[in-house]
Structure 1
Amino acid sequence: MTDSPPSSIDDRLYVLRTRWEFYVAEGRFEQFIEFAVAVNSLAEHLNRMRLPGLVRVCEGLENAALARLGQEDTHPLSEQDISALQRQLDTLMGAVASAKPHVPDRERRIDAPVGSAAAPEADWIKPRAVWLISAPGQADLVEALGHQLRYFGFQTVELPWGAEPPVGDRPLAVLFIPASGGMQTDDLACITAIRGTCPASQLFYLGVASAIEPIVELMRAGIDVAIPAEEQSARVLDRILDLVQNIEQEKYRVLVVEDSRVAVALIQRTLAEHGIDSHAIRDPGTLFDVLESYRPDLVLMDMFMPRFNGVEATRVLRQMSAYSTLPIVYLSGATDVGMQVEALRLGGDQFLTKPFNPVLLAAVVKTKIERFRETQRSTRLDGLTGLLNHTAAKSRLASLVQQLGAPNRHDEQSQPTGQGALTVAMIDIDHFKAINDTYGHPVGDQVIRALAWLLKGRLRSSDLIGRYGGEEFLIALPGVNLDQAVAVIDRIRSDFGALPHAHPGGALHATFSAGVASFPMFDAAADLTEAADRALLHAKRLGRNRVEAATLTSHLHSVA
């Protein structure tokens, strides 16, 4: 059993401040290690909360702490070092305080689905404001971006280049829109000034040349994201919407194979500080049974154990397809470089020596797990939208249908409700080729992403949303009958038609058509998608920008 980590930003700040005060008072090396771990844990939490400005400030403190970690005989630190770290800690505390807006508790969070009841209160209410700082001649683009951002619930403030920033709460993001000729001499000074005023905000620069030198200059001045000119309007909304989506993910799981009780206690404490679940075994002979039941994301493997060593255990695991890519990190007190190279060559992913640095251990574990999970996700998710891809969406739909069973077909008037209902919709963006041909593929991609965002915002987390291919989407709504689904999809259709899509010349509007089919009128996954697709084609023939429901009669006629 491990201790629960702090659950909120305020809790983590309290732990951080308390550990620092203990170290300043007593100056013990292990207290400084705990302080460094607390900084690292806070940085990770801020990253999960999608607060990149605060992550930057926190990482500055973390780097300063790690640079002074040293060995036990270098502590306590000098008064000069303590004062320097104190200033950085005060800067972090001030940045958090200034970035957290004063929003009444009754207001709905920006990342709650539009039209839904208020989401449960979290420990952070994100700013809603976005500043658009533009050079002369960019009024059309500013107006289009502002219209688009306001549609998704953001509050926009338009400022001329070099203007004094408004007083009050700092924004979630600042968009710098330079003159069409590219970056000017005074641009960097303006960016640096805004960075000083808004330390926790995400700063975007739209329209940078695709070359490394100007992007490096912009980042040194304080820019977080530099977007090339050919992609500026297509990517910016996607990036800002991404900021208000907290990362909700399954807890990381680490299996510790280690025969030392002291080492296990230290490892599990370090992992718990970062919200990572762990399970430890002392006997590697039980490895297979535990892997099957615990399903870890990573194995921390002691190099030398009773009966056989970590390399031998890894070689066996790598011969099994289920564990051929599972990350394995070795732990050992040995410093023989040749042995370490051999261990990595035989299937390990990294080698850490004991006594381990807890910050480095946590960083290695998180990085390896994130890459492992990303590799797994990449086989299931569409790269452009983050939705399920064609194969994964079809597989998920088949699973939903299988869970419902396959009763006898009902007549057309049957409208099942509750757990026995399932409705499928096929959605296709109207005249999409014309959008690509007229405005370019980056804008076309943004239209697809915007519809994906709208579907995720309007539908439930239990609903299936997939990109079926190109500009076509597959939706499945469990527990929703045909009439209810038609109403839901039609409301989304109306909202999508009103959504502006910004491009350098202004804004465009797009529409979609949809076909809807329900279970158990069609009692197999393939029949549902085929019927919904035929209804979609019917909607196209009737003039597009509409939702049509499939009927059993029309399906029988099409088959005959």
Structure 2
Amino acid sequence: MPQSPTREVQKKLETLRNRFRDKTIREIEGLVASIFNASRNSETIGELVAAYQLLHRLAGSAGTLGFTLLGEQARKLEIAIKPLADQVADGADSESIRLELKQLLSAGYEDDIAGLGNLLVTAEPVSTEWHQPRLAETDNQPVLLILEPDQELAELVSEGLALYGHRLRSLSNGHEWPEGMDDVDLVMVRDTLLQDEGVQWLSRLHDLPVICFSQAPDFATRYRLACLGIDACCDDPQDIPALADRIEQLLAEGLATLTGRVMILDDDRELLEHYRLVLTSGGLQVRALGDPSNLLSELSEFRPDILLMDVQMGLYDGPALARMVRFQAEWLSLPIIFFSSEEDRNRQLDALARGGDDFVTKPVSDEFLLRTVRMRCYRARQLDKLVSLDSLTGLLKHALAKTELGREYARSARSGHNSVVAMLDLDHFKKVNDAYGHGAGDMVIKALANLLRHRLRNTDIIGRYGGEEFMVVLPECSLEKAVEVLEALSQDFARLAFNVGTEEFSVSLSAGVATLNAYGSAEQAIEAADRALYQRKRAGRNGVSVDSRSLL
């Protein structure tokens, strides 16, 4: 019988802990011998520096790997020996340092040093409470649950949101949470069903994004809903585009907090592997480096959201490495987080002043590590979106969309697969702005952006080309399939109803399509899709046209 993912992670952590114990036993034997030798012979006083460095490393790593008492004792000894190690590094008189060391040992530290190895006999049990394995995604369509007593309204909302590719489930009351609802991604609930705070299913909402349907605008009601963990409040669920936009935001936020790309730089092999295992098991993509000399090349290849690094790695100084990374303009905004057992706030601030963004003190629990990294990755991507994504739609900006198109053009040319580019434009959009205002126009643009995100594949490239015009790239897609998808999308978008006050209106779109392979460059393919778009406009709008050369 195959092991559960959690049990498999636990076994790997136990193996890693045993490896750390075996290595550290040998290291501590050498450390004890070095310190006692230095106390007896001034010629070996230089060994204090290596002893201090090992104690510093154990103070940070032992607790994370389950040997808390060893980490605490190593920290105590590190603080005591540091002044002597600094004197050695500064070239002070060896004999005077030896005498100070001898006095230190006689003051009670001799037994502490000799007993370090005994603290490796037992370790805390490996805990994997932080590990919540994510099931493999078999369907990209989110599942939404509507708890709405008004059955007619529930059906109207379900039909409208289905156009965006969501799968809907509906309940008329919230007295019981039915079986088979474990795949729900978001809940929409009427506020009257939340009046009884003793209902058993209320706790189920804490792990899901929740939108509450409520027409009560008063402060007390809204505050109570916030205390219940509600994420958003909607007073008009019949405004489907606005509701879909809020759903999109909440689902994107939830997914973003679970993912990310992390690079870790640390010369402690067991600790580095421990971090990698915990973060990878938590759903993050991780690149672990033990050799700082490979840092720049690995950054360019992996392109992480954040960089974690130790402050001191043998001959390499973490803050100096951070400053070196900042030499390249593309990494000026990369969040760099120092992990170290250094507890002196002034030294921490000094490290941050030399290129870091945050400082986390070792040892670090697995749960704290995972939560910290997830949060940091999420914040990093939010800031990146301000630069690379259109603020209104969340789609790629014009320049980046063209860059991605160029990459797909080169990829399709190398592999020979078919790919398609399409230009989309909202019909009579100026009339929408003139009749209902620019706020209504923005609502229409956002609605189309959301529809494109939900109806197209994760691998498809979607960008706002300018104003009400969009560009879509469909990699590894036949011309026939692209036309079929875009025709269906065009028809469903025209069915959406937009509300401004008491007035309701709809908008259609036109699309022009071209195959990348039929043209000599990505730019020529865009021009061909643009020609097809204007053919569609002249032919009556509201549909899809294909450039003639793509049909050959």
- SS of 2:337's partner is strand
Contact 1:205 1:225 in 2 (8 A): yes
Structure 1 residues 328 and 233 mapped into 2: Cα distance closer, same or farther (>3 Å)?
same
Structure 1 residues 175 and 439 mapped into 2: Cα distance closer, same or farther (>3 Å)?
farther
Aligned match of 2:311: 303
Aligned match of 2:228: 221
Counterpart pick for 1:473 among 459, 463, 470 = 470
Aligned match of 2:360: 352
Counterpart pick for 1:528 among 507, 519, 525 = 525
Structure 1 residues 207 and 520 mapped into 2: Cα distance closer, same or farther (>3 Å)?
same
Aligned match of 1:549: 546
- SS of 2:130's partner is helix
**1:341 CA displacement:** 1.2
Contact 1:463 1:476 in 2 (8 A): yes
Contact 2:209 2:251 in 1 (8 A): no
Aligned match of 1:492: 489
Counterpart-to-counterpart distance in 1, 2:418 and 2:139? 31
Aligned match of 2:81: none
**1:399 CA displacement:** 2.8
Counterpart-to-counterpart distance in 1, 2:477 and 2:389? 25
Structure 1 residues 458 and 336 mapped into 2: Cα distance closer, same or farther (>3 Å)?
closer
Give the number of equivalent residue pairs.
Answer: 435
Counterpart-to-counterpart distance in 1, 2:358 and 2:259? 24
State whether structure 2 residue 173 is matched by structure 1 residue 157. Answer: no
Deviation per CA, 1:479-536, whole angstroms, max 9, x where unpaired? 5565664444333323333455577869754321122334455433333323332332
Aligned match of 1:372: 380
Contact 1:301 1:310 in 2 (8 A): yes
Aligned match of 1:204: 211
Structure 1 residues 193 and 431 mapped into 2: Cα distance closer, same or farther (>3 Å)?
farther
Counterpart-to-counterpart distance in 1, 2:477 and 2:280? 41
Counterpart pick for 2:140 among 104, 107, 111 = 111
Counterpart-to-counterpart distance in 2, 1:468 and 1:165? 47
Contact 2:510 2:541 in 1 (8 A): yes
Counterpart-to-counterpart distance in 2, 1:533 and 1:293? 34
Contact 1:393 1:465 in 2 (8 A): yes
Aligned match of 1:147: 159
Aligned match of 1:39: 129
Q: What amino acid does structure 2 have at the position aligned with 1:491? A: A
Counterpart-to-counterpart distance in 2, 1:502 and 1:154? 24
Aligned match of 1:253: 262
Structure 1 residues 247 and 13 mapped into 2: Cα distance closer, same or farther (>3 Å)?
farther
Contact 2:421 2:525 in 1 (8 A): yes
- SS of 2:322's partner is helix
How do residues 227-242 of structure 1 correspond to structure 2 at under 5 angstroms?
227=234, 233-240=240-247
How do residues 106-505 of structure 1 correspond to structure 2 at under 5 angstroms?
111-112=140-141, 129-133=145-149, 144-151=156-163, 152=165, 154-157=167-170, 159=172, 169-170=180-181, 173-176=186-189, 189=195, 193=199, 196=202, 198-199=204-205, 202-206=209-213, 214-227=221-234, 233-240=240-247, 247=255, 252-258=261-267, 260-261=268-269, 263-264=271-272, 266-276=274-284, 277-281=286-290, 284-285=292-293, 287-288=295-296, 290-291=298-299, 295-403=303-411, 419=416, 421-435=418-432, 444-478=441-475, 485-499=482-496
Unaligned runs of 5+ in 2: 14-65, 69-121
Counterpart-to-counterpart distance in 1, 2:475 and 2:130? 41
Counterpart-to-counterpart distance in 2, 1:250 and 1:308? 30
- SS of 1:331's partner is strand
Deviation per CA, 1:47-88, whole angstroms, max 9, x where unpaired? x98xxxxxxxxxxxxxxxxxxxxxxxxxxxxxxxxxxxxxxx
Counterpart-to-counterpart distance in 2, 1:395 and 1:293? 18
- SS of 2:388's partner is coil
**1:551 CA displacement:** 3.8
Structure 1 residues 521 and 401 mapped into 2: Cα distance closer, same or farther (>3 Å)?
same
Deviation per CA, 1:219-256, whole angstroms, max 9, x where unpaired? 22342322476996443223446677894998633222
Bigger radius of gyration among the two:
2
Counterpart-to-counterpart distance in 1, 2:321 and 2:403? 34
Structure 1 residues 548 and 358 mapped into 2: Cα distance closer, same or farther (>3 Å)?
closer
Q: What amino acid does structure 2 have at the position aligned with 1:215? A: R
- SS of 2:131's partner is helix
- SS of 2:314's partner is coil
Contact 1:191 1:223 in 2 (8 A): no
**1:133 CA displacement:** 4.0
Counterpart-to-counterpart distance in 1, 2:177 and 2:514? 52
**1:350 CA displacement:** 1.6
Contact 1:144 1:501 in 2 (8 A): no
Contact 1:145 1:502 in 2 (8 A): no
Which sits farther off after the overlay, 446-455 or 389-398? 446-455
Counterpart-to-counterpart distance in 1, 2:279 and 2:418? 43
Counterpart-to-counterpart distance in 2, 1:197 and 1:337? 40
Counterpart-to-counterpart distance in 1, 2:500 and 2:198? 27
Contact 1:110 1:153 in 2 (8 A): no
**1:148 CA displacement:** 0.5
Structure 1 residues 272 and 231 mapped into 2: Cα distance closer, same or farther (>3 Å)?
same
Let me know the Cα RMSD of the aligned residues. 4.6
Counterpart-to-counterpart distance in 2, 1:215 and 1:500? 28
Counterpart-to-counterpart distance in 2, 1:464 and 1:262? 40
Structure 1 residues 298 and 543 mapped into 2: Cα distance closer, same or farther (>3 Å)?
closer
Deviation per CA, 1:245-284, whole angstroms, max 9, x where unpaired? 89499863322223x4554454445434434434232x54
Unaligned runs of 5+ in 1: 1-6, 20-26, 50-108, 113-125, 179-185, 407-417, 554-560
Q: What amino acid does structure 1 have at the position aligned with 2:202? A: G
Structure 1 residues 278 and 543 mapped into 2: Cα distance closer, same or farther (>3 Å)?
closer
Counterpart-to-counterpart distance in 2, 1:230 and 1:335? 52
| Larger helix proportion of the pair | 2
**1:427 CA displacement:** 1.3
State whether structure 2 residue 507 is matched by structure 1 residue 510. Answer: yes
Counterpart-to-counterpart distance in 1, 2:427 and 2:538? 12
- SS of 1:474's partner is strand
Contact 1:335 1:353 in 2 (8 A): yes
Contact 1:141 1:503 in 2 (8 A): no
Contact 1:130 1:154 in 2 (8 A): no
Deviation per CA, 1:284-333, whole angstroms, max 9, x where unpaired? 45544554566554433332343353222322222232433333222333
Counterpart-to-counterpart distance in 2, 1:440 and 1:198? 41
**1:209 CA displacement:** 7.4
- SS of 1:537's partner is helix
Deviation per CA, 1:109-149, whole angstroms, max 9, x where unpaired? 6635xxxxxxxxxxxxx755422245xxxx98656423213
Contact 1:518 1:528 in 2 (8 A): yes
Counterpart-to-counterpart distance in 1, 2:341 and 2:480? 66
- SS of 1:145's partner is helix
Structure 1 residues 293 and 467 mapped into 2: Cα distance closer, same or farther (>3 Å)?
closer
Q: What amino acid does structure 2 have at the position aligned with 1:226? A: C
